[in-house]
Chains A and B, each alone.
Chain A
Amino acid sequence: MSKVDPVLLEIVSHALVSAAEEMSITVWRTSRSTTVRELLDYSTAVFDGNGRNVAQAARMPVHLNSMELCLQEIITHHLPLERWHEGDVVVTNDPYSGGQHLPDFLAFKPVFVDGRRIAITCVLIHHVDVGGGAAGGYNAHAVEIFQEGLRLPPVKIVRRGEMMDDLFATILQNVREPETFRGDFLSQVAALEVGARAIRALAGRYGVETLSEVGAALLDHSEHAMRVALTALPDGVYAAEDFVDGDGMDEGQKRIAVTLTISGDSIAIDFAGSSPQARGPINATMATTKSAVYYAVIAASGIEATANSGCYRPITVTAPQGSLVNAGFPAPVSMRMLTGHRIATAVLKAFAEAVPNRIPASYYGVTFNHAVNIRHADGRRQVYFDAEIGGWGGHPEADGPSGLSAGFHNGQNTPIEMIEAIFPLRFERYAFLPDSGGAGRMRGGLGLVREWRFMAEHGLLNASFDAFLSRPYGLSGGEPGRGGRLSVIRGAEVTELKAKTIGFPLRSGDIVRMETPGGGGHGDPAARDPAAILADRADGYVS
């Protein structure tokens, strides 16, 4: 390990995380869409001058653990670092250039001191719409990425401080909510500079050399912590599988097979045996897959060290080319999140074989992303995007919490009052779903029911759901959680919709009802504490 002064290491490390926090505060306070400002679907991080992640603001693991892969892909195959100049901002949303799906725009800014590149700041924002076949970006009918929206290869949107107005105008021309996109994007660019300013100040204070040594040491320390944690796990080969309902086109569940090999201070994760690449948009690129794996390994190892790319070094990830978890161009990927969640739960399930006292049963298994393309009577258009979550799995020592973000996602809900003030929706219900948590000695957390009435003249509903069939697994004899459901109620008529829905026409007065999955139970239900059973009945968590 490098010999950097341990005191300086701590001081500079705090300052780097502060820089990421300042960027995060800037996005939070200045962005426009409810997706960013209420759901908090964005992340910020700091990289060293060579594009290695040294600091993160705690937000979304799915973003944070894939940013470096994207940056490395850009500098290896698209824009070598010597072409990054002071004042540039590089942006991409291309899954085949290291991204994950088109709504996520990654923006990077190099930080220079005395002509030397000493850091790169990054802000990832999930934008509310990117054009393509479905408002909100989740086109369930897409069979190739071209149907999913505007695809931006790594390009300089700002060159030496000058905004490329023609390029920006081109982007805005191709999205459904140009004003919202513009506001969120300006906030993204402003936050990059906020981080850059903090890092330049740091370099002025401690010197460029010190900053670079500290960056390297931070990675070494986190790597060391990860190796120590892995060494403490029992060596062996552990296999598990989990499932995705399907791609919305072809029949049958899709399988995610994982083999985890723990050997001394390193770990290898292989996905041989997973389903082939799907026709529909549930495919994951390696950026998604690795990001899910990194999340699961960091969580399962229980390390206390700072999460950065040093943690990834002892982890090897392999997956068959052309499979669901390593899709090739031009496979559609907009719903990659639902496969990503099941990659994480499959890896955690394999860990449960190795360290059963530490791993909970499966959480809800998928983020319920949904969007409505709204047309008002006066012709005005709006895009409403939202995401819901469900219950956690029971843990060996505790019930799973109900209705709480889990896994490699971490989002807030959007306040109903905020939605109603902006969109023509009237909520009827937002509540826990009794009996949806898997039974067990430790019960799974409850899923949620969210119901709203559509009030505008015309709307098209898009949903990127899953876990209707592939219910969140139980462990050690616990029952699986209840699966999800989506229905539209028009008068007395109830229409059950598919988990992947595109363009379902809504009329004024229709009620959209979604039920999210509960978590799996842990342990034999017969062994549950009678007092806990009574309390569950009194509170109506269990009927």
Chain B
Amino acid sequence: MTPRRIRIAVDIGGTFTDLEFLDEASGKTHSFKTATTPDDPSLGLMNAIHGAASRFGFALPDVSLLMHGTTIATNTVLTRNLPEGALITTAGFEDVLEIGRHARSEIYRLKSEPRAALVPRRRRFGVVERIGPVGEVLTELDAASVDDAIDKVAASSASVCAIALLNGFTNPAHEIAIRDRLRQRLPDIAVSCSHEVSPEIREFERTSTTVLNALLIPVVRRYIDALLERIASEGLSAPLYLVQSNGGATTPRAASEAPVKLLLSGPSGGVLAAEGVARLLGFANVVGVDMGGTSYDVAVIRDGVRTVVTQGDVDGLPVRVPMVDMRTIGAGGGSIASLDTSGRLQVGPRSAGAKPGPVCYGRGGTEPTVTDVNLILGRLDPVTFLGGTFALDLDGARAALDRRIAEPLGLDRDRAASGILAVVVAKLAGAIKLSLFERGLDPRDFALMSFGGAGGLHAVEVAEELGMTTVIFPKDPSTFSAHGILQSDVVHDLARTKVLPLKPGASPALRDLAAELLREGEALLAADGLSGGRCRLDLAADLRYRGQAFELLVPLGTAPDDDAQLEALCQRFHELHRQRFSFDDPSETVELVTLRLAAIGMLGGMAATSAPTPGPSTPLLDRAVHLNGGWTSAPVHQQDSLAAGTRIRGPAIIEQAYTTLLIPAGWSLDVAESGDLIAMRELGA
């Protein structure tokens, strides 16, 4: 009898540790949930694996692959719980990290927000050297100044050190020499170099990204080491992969070296899952939205593929590494409704968070939130909310809404409540619209996919607002990220920045650059034990019109062989520019800024999942709900009792574990073969 092969994905969230696994023989997936153990998350991870093993009958040696999405890096940044670090940079530029780009976001504010640099001035050390814009050495690296800087690092309290030199991305020689010397003299100090972490032009952004990477190394390394140790001690021999911000998986060693690439590890699981569900259901263009208690994340999947950018920010810090392109706004179930001094209604960005939480939680909240309003309008059930874990205070929510919003505005309670929801829906729709606008895309060409705890109540209304006609609700949103992680492939992102005008005769230079990247990518995959048919090498080029500051990413089958192919590439850029910005300029020179390679090692993907067997049908209850400006009675369905092929016409309420979906009149809901739910606007509605 051949051993079973079980592939496991684990997503560790703040409250729950979610596991999903694929039984390779049967092609079936199953999920399992357990409590997160914040003091040592690896304990919760093993609890989940043991729990699933005993529940679904497999043994630890059957596990062939373990994939993991983690919020460790993100939480460390959000709490700024970072170690003390040092920075070695080109002498004369020690303050670049603190000066930043020196614009402000709140233009009328007279008292500035405190701006603490990631590394204070006392631990930023200059070395004598200088590299020019095309990689030429203008001043040789002065060895004495390097030793002097290393002495200062040694004498400081720093446990990590970043090395980021001016123009260091054009020629890494000096950064490498400093790193080698530092490692030789101070082997215990963790080091990051800018040419490795973020080889991109713009010194502040690259330096800041590199510093952040260095500061994350001790925390993430400790986390990963603990995890590996725990796994080994429990007799699990399967290789571990971690999901990065770009949605690709990487080895524990690579993740420990480049922890800044894990900052969107958690959310990228959701995006991967959305990508998978979209593919399974045959939707090429999908906007994935994740609405939680405080935030709303928007990600775009186009032609079946998630979009990845390198110009992102995390908590106000520039992060110039490939990440799933995600727009986040402060709007969620906990968003507070209030009136400003001019008497205008505001919803968010202030949030009641988990504590005190909405008024209806009865934990001391006094300002009405989106969740309170949903309760008042009958969209949430005070008894079954969050699995009925605690009773909700409907009267308290009503009183708060009346006192703070309805009475001052002279509106009746229902009008005030539905008005607050209308403002929220407009905000959510606005965030989606801007996300698509930045890419020159039209919402009407997209389906919406909603998978957050608070999103199901608003998704259809958001779609209506944007003229979208389809909304997808994945069958199991509560373990959605784990589901996505299971579909991750190994991805190495490589890049070479070289400003190169794409004029006739430029193709040999481009081809050489591509060959260099391809060699490197193949070597990295070979080191992962992946080769041949399991590898894919995707080239792409960041192109722009000469003089522009931003590039458009243009996929490249192979590097152009001749002038005709080069011209065809430029044509693709003109088209893309016209599509995204409504004009192009064919007479202008197109230039290459960065050539990129995604070296992908396919881990086998996912077999089609089978529909869950519906549970016993429960008697239908009706609930009074306020919809489209009036109260109406809507049937309440339990999702786990809906069989594939079922069609439900709105108005209707669907209760999933931990979430509620609202289907207004004019929409109908189909249960797909896979068990996912697809809401469509009815023709003529």
Contacts and interface: CB of A to CB of B under 8 A. Distances in A.
Contact of A403 (B99, B346, B419, B550): B99
B109 interface: yes
A418 interface: yes
B122 A61 contact: no
A62 to B, nearest CB: 10
Contacts of B545: 32, 183
Contacts of B201: 415, 417-418, 421
Contact of A412 (B102, B344, B345, B411): B102
B462 to A, nearest CB: 13
A411 interface: yes
Interface string B164-182: 0011000000000000000
Interface string A1-37: 1000011011101110010011001101111111001
B219 interface: no
Contacts of B114: 398
Interface stretch (B286-294, B299-307, B423-431): B423-431
- Chief secondary structure at chain B's binding surface: loop
Nearest to B115: A401
Given A18-B434, A180-B547, A405 B344 contact: no
B344 A305 contact: yes
A113 interface: no
Contact of A295 (B95, B108, B138, B577): B108
A22 B343 contact: no
A228 B105 CA distance: 25
B132 interface: yes
B93 interface: yes
B430 A33 contact: no
Interface in A478-534: none
Contact of B582 (A190, A304, A359, A421): A190
B548 A32 contact: yes
A29 B109 CA distance: 27
A358 interface: yes
B536 to A, nearest CB: 30
B112 interface: yes
Interface in A367-420: 389, 392, 395, 397-398, 400-406, 410-413, 415-418, 420
A260 B95 CA distance: 40
B203 A416 contact: yes
A166 interface: no
B195 to A, nearest CB: 13
Contact of B581 (A26, A37, A305): A26
Interface residues of B, number: 70
Given A28-B550, A398-B114, A221 B342 contact: yes
A419 to B, nearest CB: 9
Nearest to A541: B121
B230 interface: no
Contact of A417 (B92, B103, B166, B581): B166
B516 interface: no
B56 interface: no
Nearest to B134: A421
Contacts, number: 215
B341 interface: yes
Contacts of B341: 225, 228-229, 303-305
B209 to A, nearest CB: 14
A417 B203 contact: yes
A418 B551 CA distance: 14
A22 B166 CA distance: 33
A392 B499 CA distance: 37
A194 to B, nearest CB: 6
Given A7-B423, A183-B588, A29 B104 contact: no
Given A410-B107, A430-B96, A432-B95, A37 B548 contact: yes
Interface in B3-32: none
B438 interface: yes
B547 A397 contact: no
A298 interface: yes
Interface string A300-337: 10111101000000000000000000000000000000
Contacts of B582: 26, 190, 193-194
Contact of B111 (A7, A360, A448): A360
Contact of A6 (B419, B433, B588): B419
Nearest to A30: B581
Interface string A195-214: 00000000000000000000
A37 B419 CA distance: 39
Given A190-B582, A299-B109, A304-B340, A431 B94 contact: yes
A144 interface: no
A426 B166 CA distance: 11
A221 B427 CA distance: 20
Given A405-B102, A412-B102, A418 B426 contact: no
Interface residues of A, number: 90
Nearest to B422: A7
Which of B98, B121, B204 is packed against the most chain A CB atoms within 10 Å?
B121
Which of A7, A34, A428 is packed against the most chain B CB atoms within 10 Å?
A7
Nearest to B105: A58
A398 B112 contact: yes
B505 interface: no
Given A21-B434, A32-B545, A222-B342, A417 B93 contact: no
Interface in B384-442: 409, 411, 419-420, 422-423, 426-427, 430, 433-434, 437-438
A14 to B, nearest CB: 6
A18 B430 CA distance: 7
A359 B109 CA distance: 10
Contact of B437 (A6, A22, A221, A410): A22
Contacts of A180: 547
Interface in B77-116: 92-96, 98-99, 101-112, 114-115
A225 B411 CA distance: 21
B581 A190 contact: yes
A85 interface: no
Contacts of A429: 92-93
Contacts of A179: 547
B92 A428 contact: yes
B103 A405 contact: yes
A152 interface: no
A252 interface: no
A299 B111 CA distance: 10
A404 B409 contact: no
A403 B102 contact: yes
Contacts of A402: 98-99
Interface string B325-363: 000000000000000111111110000000000000000
A477 interface: no
A539 interface: yes
B547 A32 contact: yes
Contact of B138 (A32, A34, A426): A426
Given A37-B550, A420-B133, A432 B98 contact: yes
8 contacts: A31-B549, A32-B545, A186-B585, A225-B342, A299-B109, A403-B102, A416-B203, A431-B93
Interface of A: 1, 6-7, 9-11, 13-15, 18, 21-22, 25-26, 28-34, 37-38, 40, 58-61, 179-180, 183, 186, 190, 193-194, 221-222, 224-225, 228-229, 295, 298-300, 302-305, 307, 348, 358-360, 389, 392, 395, 397-398, 400-406, 410-413, 415-418, 420-422, 426-432, 448, 451, 538-541
Interface of B: 92-96, 98-99, 101-112, 114-115, 120-122, 130, 132-133, 138, 166-167, 201-205, 340-347, 409, 411, 419-420, 422-423, 426-427, 430, 433-434, 437-438, 499, 545-550, 577, 580-583, 585, 588
Closest 10 CB pairs of A and B: A225-B342, A37-B549, A7-B419, A32-B547, A429-B92, A539-B121, A11-B426, A221-B342, A305-B342, A420-B133
Given A183-B547, A428-B92, 10 more contacts: A1-B343, A7-B422, A225-B341, A305-B344, A360-B111, A398-B112, A413-B99, A427-B166, A430-B95, A432-B121
